[in-house]
Amino acid sequence: MFGAGMNAETTPHCTALGFDDKRIQEVLSMLRLGEEHRAIADRIRTQVIAGRADELVDRCFTAFARTRGFSLIERSFGAKSFKRAWINRLRRFGLDFDTKEYFEERLATAAAFARAKIHLSLLHLPYFLTQEILIEALSEKFNDRATTLWPFLNAVLKLTSLDLYLTAEGYRLPELDELEGDLDKLRQETFRLRRRTSIDELTGLMNYAKLMESLEQQINRARRRGHESNPLCLIMSDLDFFKKINDTYGHMVGDLVLRHVAGRIKSATRDFDLIGRFGGEEFVIVMMNTDLALGEAIAERIREGVMKAPFHVKQYNIPVTLSLGVAMLRQGENKESLLERADAAMYEAKRSGRNRVVVASDS
């Protein structure tokens, strides 16, 4: 039965399928599941699932019970028993996932489904639904705080992958094509969630949280390798007269202009440069292995590229320009100081007439 209890001292399905301690560790290594995921799973159980397991399963059980083939589950295990087992499994989400007992329970569940001739997709569906309700609950709890949310989502995806793998192994029927489809869906979901937590939806560039995380990483890298041999430059850019564009043509056109400028910036930079939307109409470019002279040259190339490509929409031909400030990372400097100096240089470009590049005087 789905999530049925078992004698932890006997693991016949693990033995039959060759899941000894070495193979268990190989599976966990393949999925990159480690001690940190055990700690995160504990937090998910205590902070998200505790006291809500019945409610979370209720969200999707009615729809699940209407799926084609559920009558086989009802006849084989009983609807109430199946639901209660699902709730109990949710309460134990990720608990002791690195043990032979955890593997045995999932292999035994799959074998029971195979013996009852219940399709593998019906066994997999509760795992996908559990993943969906946990993702929804985590998103509600952390309110799209990307840096906090992503480790939890990553753990949910990895533990779901482990369960899907084990149930497929236990089932041992010719369902490889369907399994591949399930894994494709999981990969697509992973990609979608990764984009959601790191990409600005309007421009396709890094969002603020991902930008700050990446900048911190590159500053640490420059410190480790030495500033002289690995200089780092940062450009802060801002659209000139963007409020006027919004007021004149409307916010929808303003959004299209932002997307257009993001594309022009990408065209003027190198593949390894990091580009993010800092907020509103401001963009930041992080350039590794780039001294001040090269950083200024790239900023000028961005400025010219934007200026020479006005935005065309319907009957409008909208000129767009950027003001840019460039600063190079100093010895021992943190990201806040670097951003502040680049921002000050950018505002100096604004005061000096806009559509120009200014290098921070203290770089």
User: Which residues are known to be catalytic?
Assistant: 281
Count each helix (H run) and each strand (E run) in the chain, helices first: 15, 7
- The backbone torsions φ and ψ at residue 279, rounded to the nearest 5 degrees and listed phi first, read 150, 140
User: Distance between CA atoms of 355 and 212, rounded to whole angstroms?
Assistant: 26
- By CB atoms closer than 10 A (0-12, 13-18, 19+), residue 93 is buried
Provide the sign of the torsion angle of the four alpha carbons 237, 243, 244, 247, taken in this order: positive
Q: Tokens 């190198």 belong to which residue? A: 270
Cβ(219)–Cβ(231) below 8 Å: no
The Cα-based distances of 107 to 28, 63, 181, 186, 231 in angstroms read 15, 26, 20, 20, 53
CA contacts within 13 A on the Cβ side of 262: 25
Cβ(82)–Cβ(123) below 8 Å: no
